[in-house]
Structure 1
Amino acid sequence: MKKADRYFYPAIFTYEQGQEIAVEFPDLGVATSGVDDNDALLSARELLGCVLFGLEEDGEEIPAPTPLSQLTVESNERTVLIDAYMPSVRQALSSRAVNRTVTLPAWLNALAVEHGVNFSQTLQTALRQQLRV
């Protein structure tokens, strides 16, 4: 199944005097907050990307977003359409480091340690050159 490049989900921003702006995604059952509109928007976008990436990775069904016109809100709430550009999210979340075990001749290991070689960086550089990336 082809994964979507971009998703749009409605979020409900709730404003309470003296509190952070609460942000809820009713279709996904998750929430976040922000100290102001910009922070709340960035938090919402990050959360949306993480949640959708997790659903994709787990092979779970991604629920259809509710149209904005079908959401009802209180006087201190606003609906906002939040987007997640998944190619960027996937790349960022799949670039996490992984541990690999390598086997080296003892003499080569000792010489590299003596010269302060960064094994991780050296292996990454060699792999990039080998794979032409």
Structure 2
Amino acid sequence: MLKLIKAYPIILTPTNSGYVVTVPDLDINTQGSDIAEAIYMARDAIGLWGITEQDDGRDIPEPSTSEPVHEPNEIVTWVDIDFDKYRKANDMTTMRINVSVPKYLKVLGDEAGINFSQELQERLKERLIKN
């Protein structure tokens, strides 16, 4: 399976309280109190924007390969994002599903105070998610 990793150019504009971040390819903005936080916030904004586009059935656009137009006091850099990894770490949307178990397991689980939903989630993560 092809990993969906991209690197988008960002522009960091200094302000009195840190940096405004512009992602020209996606027409989104964020901010950070210093360069490290601004880059972190840019990656988060790009990741959230990207998985929202996927959820809405739209493709994530390819990033520009050239430096965007910017002012002399602005910093241009690229931010990489692994959209699959971002989704695994941040998409906590839940879905209701119907699961059947033998009656005796339901009784034993209830007696033991087991949260069936939580137990199923933990087992599925162990089995399906490879870090």
Equivalence for 1:52: 50
- Change beyond 3 A, Cα 1:63–1:73: same
- Name the residue aligned to 1:6: 5
Cα offset for 1:24?
A: 0.8
The residue aligned with 1:118 is 115
**Conserved 8 A contact 2:8-2:63:** yes
Residue in structure 1 matched with residue 23 of structure 2 by the alignment: 25
Instruction: Answer yes or no: is 1:85 the counterpart of 2:82.
Output: yes
Q: CA deviation at 1:54?
A: 1.9
TM-score (ref. length: structure 2): 0.72
Identical amino acids, percent of aligned pairs: 31
Unaligned runs of at least 5 residues, structure 2: none
Q: Report SS of the residue matched to 1:117.
A: coil
The count of residues paired between Structure 1 and Structure 2 equals 128
User: Match of 2:35?
Assistant: 37
State the structure with more CA Rg: 1
**Unaligned stretches of 5+ in structure 1?**
none
1:42 and 1:111, CA in 2 relative to 1: closer, same or farther beyond 3 A?
A: same
SS of aligned partner of 2:15: coil
What TM-score do you get using the length of structure 1 for normalisation?
0.71
Q: 3-state SS of the aligned residue for 2:22?
A: strand
- SS for the counterpart of 1:32 is strand
CA distance 1:4–1:52, change in 2 (3 Å): farther
